């Protein structure tokens, strides 16, 4: 959950979107549209959670409980992600910007769509797509979270899923509040640039901790 | 030959117009006064146009660099947003 809250693609696109909406329409309308973006992200998180839960349930009911190999593979994936987020999450050699290691054409396309959303449905779609683009980092997290929920098998599962969705979209709410309290994109960018190293360290350390935890679970089975 | 020269100047004109429209949106988003911002946007664009007038083809990167250099004299925030908007993600 913590990792998902620290990923930068969603907040970046959201900041572009909100800034542009403020420049084109009234503050009230921009504020209103921003909720559609957040709704899109929430829908995506809920859908992916559902899909990963179905996958986990299908495999466990069909093949029995996960073998240690599953946890070792997950551990390997988290280790690779820990290394990738520390060294390559932000585009190398860009100290004064928050450019991510995305193909530039894709980044430009996202910015273009953030600038040109015209109605609620296109804004929701933008939120969905942005969240889906983070799946390379987040999908293993959903799988592990779904596995944990499946094995926990408590009545608190629903609360856990809701908490996951809230934490995943918390940065977007924070940015929305930031803009609403008379701050602008420049101030936001300066903060994001300042906390770049912290983001890399926190996300990478969290992936590393997950890698170690899944490795231990694998050995204990 | 004449057609290609016309094409180039049309492309350049479009580039300047797009930049002006973009700057107006950024200025409004930053909460700058519309009248004042329009004046210094025009001044900055004119100054940038003068410094790039010898170039036959103007690249977007050249335009961004020159305009934001001029804009810094009037409003540093607007210059920053204009220069770094593509580098947010």
| CA-based nearest distance B57→chain A, Å | 22
pLDDT of residue A21: 94
Query: pLDDT, tens digit, for every residue of A14-37?
Result: 999 999 999 999 889 999 999 999
Chain B residues whose beta carbon lies within 8 Å of the beta carbon of residue A102: 89
Query: pLDDT, tens digit, for every residue of A140-159?
Result: 999 999 998 888 877 788 88
Ramachandran assignment for A94, one of left (phi > 0), alpha (psi -120 to 50 degrees), beta (any other): beta
Give the contacts of A42 (CB within 8 A, at least 6 positions apart): A127, A165, A168, A169
- Mean pLDDT along residues A65-84: 93
pLDDT of residue A158: 83
Chain B residues whose beta carbon lies within 8 Å of the beta carbon of residue A94: 87
How much is the ipTM here? 0.88
- Decide: residue B67, CB within 10 A, 0-12 exposed, 13-18 middle, 19+ buried: buried
Query: pLDDT, tens digit, for every residue of A37-66?
Result: 999 999 999 999 999 999 999 999 888 888
pLDDT of residue B53: 85
- Decide: residue A121, CB within 10 A, 0-12 exposed, 13-18 middle, 19+ buried: exposed
| Whole-number Å distance between alpha carbons of A181 and A142 | 33
| Whole-number Å distance between alpha carbons of B84 and A125 | 25
CB atoms within 10 A of CB A63: 10
Q: Which residue of A has its CA nearest to B25?
A: A23
- Number of domains observed in the structure of chain B: 1
Q: Which domain does B36 fall in, by range?
A: 4-88
């Amino acid at each position: 959950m913590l990792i998902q809250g620290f990923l930068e693609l969603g907040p970046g696109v959201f900041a572009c979107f909100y800034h542009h909406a403020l420049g084109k329409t009234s503050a009230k309308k921009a504020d209103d549209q921003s909720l559609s973006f957040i709704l899109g992200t929430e829908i995506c998180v809920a859908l992916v959670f559902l899909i990963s839960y179905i996958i986990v349930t299908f495999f466990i009911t069909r093949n029995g409980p996960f073998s240690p190999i599953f946890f070792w593979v997950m551990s390997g994936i988290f280790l690779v992600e820990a290394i990738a987020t520390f060294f390559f999450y932000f585009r190398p050699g860009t100290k004064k910007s928050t450019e991510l290691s995305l193909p530039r054409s894709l980044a430009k396309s996202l910015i273009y769509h953030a600038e040109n959303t015209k109605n609620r449905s296109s804004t929701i779609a933008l939120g969905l797509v942005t969240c889906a683009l983070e799946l390379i980092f987040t999908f293993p997290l959903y799988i592990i979270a779904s596995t944990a929920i499946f094995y926990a098998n408590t009545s608190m599962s629903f609360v856990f899923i809701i908490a996951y969705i809230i934490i995943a979209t918390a940065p977007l709410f924070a940015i929305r509040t930031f803009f609403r309290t008379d701050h602008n994109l420049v101030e936001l960018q300066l903060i994001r640039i300042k906390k770049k190293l912290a983001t890399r360290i926190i996300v990478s350390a969290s992936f590393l901790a997950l890698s170690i935890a899944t490795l231990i679970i694998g050995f204990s089975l | 030959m004449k057609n290609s020269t016309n094409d180039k100047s049309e492309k350049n004109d479009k580039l300047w117009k797009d930049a002006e429209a973009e700057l107006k949106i950024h200025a409004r988003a930053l909460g700058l006064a519309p009248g004042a911002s329009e004046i210094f946007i025009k001044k900055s664009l004119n100054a940038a146009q003068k410094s790039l007038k010898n170039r036959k083809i103007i690249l977007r990167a050249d335009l961004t660099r020159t305009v934001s250099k001029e804009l810094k004299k009037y409003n540093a925030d607007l210059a920053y947003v204009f220069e770094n908007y593509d580098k947010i993600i």
